[in-house]
């Protein structure tokens, strides 16, 4: 029998990475709630630890439920391999861990989630790493910021909070010229709206907590490797291109080729950092992904309607949604995200900080939470919460100025969403 080829996104989001359980025939992926796995014999155990055979050793490293989720996300992103982690923040550290050493740096976009900005400025110091922030709208400035110690470029496909779309093609060209990997956070777009690897990204990270799960129940992260980067082209990445002392001298790239980064992330990253996703979280996310395309279509349609309505309101100074024709990112959005530019954007209010706070407190349908990508419509004032630790200048650059409110539009009826906005704006 000829195997049926699964190429369509809607098919892959339901079937990729999974099959009926061979022991029971269970159609949904079981939750393998176990810490460890029995080896067939001593030789079998040795082969697993030598990376000569793929299998299960200990659930900090690999787990069937978590592995199924990783395989599904890899299939949707068009990557070679990947791993799942305990959170999106964990995925970011896992992405950089094989690339960095004390004294090394990355060049990152100024338009980042506030928690990522803090991670890159504060936590990096403890590892001896550093980060240079640059406006990624200016590829020449990005290229100028790269020095001999730079090991990666980092950006978001659709930036949180402003919904700004990054020109991944232009940034990937800079990364390629410099011989560096491009790491793209695809959380806000999801692989349904954007495929960073097709635009030159080397690594893709996700907070699976958001749109991939879609129901606000569990935290998680994912890291996908394109398998296309030549880690041996220079001496910049010794953990991948030279004998790795942390794993009995194996040369990951020489031994594993396109899967080098993935196996390094499992054998060393998860082993030593322990940023493991639990199998129940993986189960919830697998179920969420089954409806990803349907939800993203509805998120995008609703957001277009709501953003257009808000743009015409007399108490609104500006709306940042890239789906609006007035947006400077409209054309880039159509090229990078041809199915739409997602459900995330910000609104600047003419009344400033006080009106932002009152709007958040007056909305009723919207949930005031530090999350995005839920089926429900969500709102937050970034300047006083997620981006509070930044300076005024940094918040301005990130798109989270004091007069700005961030919206994550859900899948409710758009008329009801607008009715709630209308009553809240009227109260200002």
Q: Is the pLDDT of residue 256 over 80?
A: yes
State the average pLDDT over residues 335-358: 94
What pLDDT digit, counting tens, does each position of 291-319 carry?
999 999 999 999 999 999 999 999 999 99
312 to 162, 262, 298, 316, 410: CA distances (angstroms): 18, 48, 22, 8, 21
CB atoms within 10 A of CB 298: 18
What pLDDT digit, counting tens, does each position of 354-393 carry?
999 999 999 999 999 989 999 999 999 877 776 666 677 7
Contact 313, 425 (CB under 8 A): yes
Q: 248 CB contacts (<8 Å, ≥6 apart)?
A: none
Question: How many residues in total does the chain contain?
Answer: 428
Q: Is the pLDDT of residue 2 over 80?
A: no
What's the pLDDT at 1?
A: 35
Q: Quickly state the pLDDT bin for 3 (edges 50, 70, 90).
A: low
What's the pLDDT at 426?
A: 96
Q: State what percent of residues in the chain have pLDDT above 90.
A: 86
Using only C-alpha atoms, what is the Rg of the chain?
22
State the average pLDDT over residues 131-135: 97
Residue among 98, 110, 94, 106 nearest 130 (CA): 106
Q: What is the mean pLDDT of the chain?
A: 94
What's the pLDDT at 20?
A: 86
What pLDDT digit, counting tens, does each position of 409-427 carry?
999 999 999 999 999 999 9
What's the pLDDT at 23?
A: 82
**Domains (range + CATH), the chain:** 9-99+181-288 (3.40.640.10), 292-426 (3.90.1150.10)
pTM (2 d.p.): 0.94
State the average pLDDT over residues 29-44: 95
Q: What gap in Å lies between CA 112 and CA 116, rounded to an integer? A: 6
Angle at 260 between CA 35 and CA 275, to 5 degrees: 35
Q: Is the pLDDT of residue 397 over 70?
A: no
Q: Is the pLDDT of residue 16 over 80?
A: yes
State the average pLDDT over residues 163-169: 96
What's the pLDDT at 389?
A: 67
Stretch among 8-22, 221-235, 253-267, 320-334 having the lowest mean pLDDT? 8-22
Q: What gap in Å lies between CA 139 and CA 137, rounded to an integer? A: 6
What's the pLDDT at 11?
A: 94
Q: What gap in Å lies between CA 370 and CA 379, rounded to an integer? A: 8
């Amino acid at each position: 029998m000829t195997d049926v080829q699964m190429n369509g996104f809607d098919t892959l989001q339901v079937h990729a990475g999974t099959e009926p359980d061979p022991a029971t025939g269970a159609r949904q992926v079981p939750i393998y709630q176990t810490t460890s796995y029995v080896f067939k014999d001593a030789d079998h155990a040795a082969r697993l630890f030598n990376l000569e055979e793929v299998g299960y050793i200990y659930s900090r490293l690999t787990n069937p439920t978590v592995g199924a989720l990783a395989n599904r996300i890899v299939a949707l992103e068009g990557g070679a391999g990947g791993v799942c982690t305990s959170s999106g923040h964990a995925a970011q550290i896992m992405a950089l861990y094989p690339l960095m050493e004390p004294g090394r740096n990355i060049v990152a976009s100024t338009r980042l989630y506030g928690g990522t900005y803090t991670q890159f400025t504060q936590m990096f110091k403890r590892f001896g790493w550093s980060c240079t922030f640059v406006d990624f709208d200016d590829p020449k400035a990005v290229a100028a910021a790269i020095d001999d110690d730079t090991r990666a470029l980092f950006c978001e496909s659709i930036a949180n909070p402003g919904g700004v779309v990054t020109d991944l093609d232009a940034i990937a060209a800079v990364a390629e010229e410099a011989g560096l990997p491009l790491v793209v956070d695809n959380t806000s777009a999801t692989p349904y709206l954007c495929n960073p690897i097709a635009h030159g990204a080397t690594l893709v990270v996700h907070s699976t907590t958001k749109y991939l799960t879609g129901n606000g129940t569990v935290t998680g992260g994912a890291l996908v490797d394109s398998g296309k980067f030549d880690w041996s082209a220079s001496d910049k990445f010794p953990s991948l291109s030279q004998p790795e002392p942390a794993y009995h001298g194996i040369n990951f790239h020489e031994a594993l080729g396109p899967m080098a980064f993935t196996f390094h992330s499992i054998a060393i990253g998860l082993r030593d950092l322990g940023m493991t996703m639990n199998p129940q979280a993986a189960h919830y996310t697998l179920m969420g992904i089954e409806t990803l395309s349907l939800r993203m279509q509805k998120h995008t349609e609703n957001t277009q309607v709501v953003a257009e309505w808000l743009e015409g309101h007399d108490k609104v100074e500006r709306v940042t949604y890239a789906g609006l024709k007035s947006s400077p990112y409209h054309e880039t959005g159509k090229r990078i995200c041809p199915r739409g530019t997602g459900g995330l954007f910000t609104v600047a209010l003419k009344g400033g900080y006080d009106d932002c706070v009152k709007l958040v407190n007056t909305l009723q349908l919207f949930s005031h939470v530090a999350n995005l990508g839920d089926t429900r419509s969500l709102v937050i004032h970034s300047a006083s919460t997620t981006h509070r630790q930044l300076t005024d200048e940094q918040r301005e650059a990130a798109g989270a100025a004091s007069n700005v409110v961030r919206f994550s539009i859900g899948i409710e009826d758009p008329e009801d969403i607008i009715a709630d906005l209308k009553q809240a704006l009227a109260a200002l």
